[in-house]
Chains A and B, each alone.
Chain A
Amino acid sequence: AQTVTQSQPEMSVQEAETVTLSCTYDTSESDYYLFWYKQPPSRQMILVIRQEAYKQQNATENRFSVNFQKAAKSFSLKISDSQLGDAAMYFCAYRSAYGNEKLTFGTGTRLTIIP
């Protein structure tokens, strides 16, 4: 079974600075998808960014980018120019590419933005 580990329960960053959230995962599969979801206080999960394991290029979405290290099974999220609206729980998630459509989530990192 796949597992996802987020070792940072809480992180904080000054507004406009850069922060990196860590995620590691364990799998024996060679093809899969990785996601970062944001859960603000309203509690609705919102997709931030996704990465296909077969792609070597790291995904980027505006101020959000990932550092995907397949051999190390690491998938960190970098938030540049942090904004107050970035404050939320961030969940890393794994999904197999082999017909197993469920998302497996990590325990989350609570990000606080310091004005």
Chain B
Amino acid sequence: EPEVTQTPSHQVTQMGQEVILRCVPISNHLYFYWYRQILGQKVEFLVSFYNNEISEKSEIFDDQFSVERPDGSNFTLKIRSTKLEDSAMYFCASSEAQTGSYEQYFGPGTRLTVT
């Protein structure tokens, strides 16, 4: 069964460093998402992406964040200058469509630890 994959599974970085989290969505999906989950808290929406553009972003997704689909398969989340509070699990998701009850398929997540 097709699945969303994410690399790395765990990333440790120092405060102020740039990180890139990578995702490979399901191949025929057109809509891509990033969510984050701070330890012990709920999953929060960061950004959605379609047709090489951001379609929606949350208040969390400020100027230090950016997303890109550099080629036909990868979808990346870049954090330019990491802060301690960016430590969280970051989930990528993809869906076949935007409307209807289409499922968003989630990847296994990348645990980001900022020290």
Contacts and interface: CB of A to CB of B under 8 A. Distances in A.
B109 A100 contact: no
B48 A101 contact: yes
Interface in B69-115: 89, 91, 93, 95, 98-101, 103-109
B42 A52 contact: no
B43 A105 contact: yes
A44 B45 contact: no
Q: For chain B, what secondary structure do more than half of its interface residues adopt (helix, strand, loop), or is it mixed?
A: strand
B18 interface: no
A101 B109 contact: no
A44 B108 contact: yes
Interface in A96-110: 97, 99-108
Given A91-B42, A107-B41, A107-B42, A43 B99 contact: no
Contacts of A35: 103
B45 A33 contact: no
A102 B33 contact: yes
Interface of A: 33, 35, 37, 42-47, 50-52, 91, 97, 99-108
22 contacts: A33-B100, A35-B103, A37-B106, A42-B108, A43-B109, A44-B108, A45-B43, A47-B105, A50-B101, A50-B103, A91-B42, A99-B98, A99-B99, A100-B56, A101-B56, A102-B58, A103-B43, A103-B104, A104-B45, A105-B42, A106-B42, A107-B42
